[in-house]
Amino acid sequence: MSLRIVLLGAPGAGKGTQAKRIAAKYDIPHISTGDIFRKHLKEGTELGKQVQQYLDSGGLVPDDLTCAIVADRIAEPDCANGYILDGFPRSQTQAERLQEILNERGEAIDIAIDIEVPDEEIIERLSARRSCGTCGEVYNLKFDPPKGDGKTCEKTDCPGELIQRTDDKPETIRQRLNVYHETTKPVRSFYESLGLLKTVSGADSTPDDVYKAIEAILDGVRTA
Ligand code: AMP
């Protein structure tokens, strides 16, 4: 059985953390447009140069470019039985375009899950978010602090240093939240109108609690 999931929520709602666990449990690829863009930035590719200004300012990469990347990615063989989309679609246009891409492929989204977290908590979380510059493991100095000196990755055999994403600085966080409310939030209604939306609360909850809630929803989809 295939499982195509869209994971919605503000930046810092915990989409990445949950998507990794869901991908492992259901054996489907985790597709994060943010991770794809950051990889290109790090490698200094042509695409990386094209998207840098948007990532630095906390704005959105243009829809055409983003949709073309996702269309290519979901056409890869490992996506045949589904995937979890994290950070896409992020605008009404992207959501509509995704429907078209899937229609052309004879596929459909099975479920869209929105993780809801209030803005104040988002700001607190993002300000304390750090990630390993080598392996990408994500930590939170406040809610999930790395053991040891707090400066290095604690994964076995990873010597990486913990860094703060440039877009997790206070001014950029505000801008990303504005973009979220203005452009991304309507995507919720898009999936709601298709009868595909489920909401879980990510406020004052541990990642384990949120994961259990998502797992219950997905197990329902798979047995439906
Ligand atoms: P994220 O890691 O999901 O917070 O994404 C980091 C940044 O990548 C965003 O602030 C945007 O600049 C860009 N980005 C990621 N996904 C998208 C998308 N679906 N559409 C446009 N820009 C995106």
**What's the Cα-to-Cα distance from 28 to each of 85, 185, 221, rounded to whole Å?**
10, 26, 15
Stretch among 120-124, 152-156, 158-162 having the lowest mean pLDDT: 152-156
Ligand 1 first shell, C-beta below 6 A? 11, 33-34, 37, 54-55, 58-61, 66, 87-88, 90, 94, 167, 176
Q: Is the pLDDT of residue 222 over 80?
A: no
- In one-letter notation, the amino acid at residue 223 is T
Strand-by-strand arrangement of the 30-32 sheet: 30-32, 82-86, 3-9, 111-116, 197-201
Q: Which residue shows structure tokens 């990469």?
A: 61
pLDDT, tens only, 178-188? 999 999 999 99
The bridge status of strand 111-116 relative to strand 82-86 is unpaired
Positions marked active-site:
15, 90, 129, 165, 176
Among 18, 48, 46, which Cα is nearest to 34's?
Answer: 48
pLDDT, tens only, 32-90? 999 999 999 999 999 999 999 999 999 999 999 999 999 999 999 999 999 999 999 99
Task: Output the pTM of the full model.
Answer: 0.92
Pick the CATH number of 3-223 from 3.40.630.10, 3.40.109.10, 3.40.50.410, 3.40.50.300: 3.40.50.300
pLDDT, tens only, 106-129? 999 999 999 999 999 999 999 999
Distance of CA 44 to the CA centre of its chain: 22
Ligand 1, atom 10, lies closest to the CA of 58
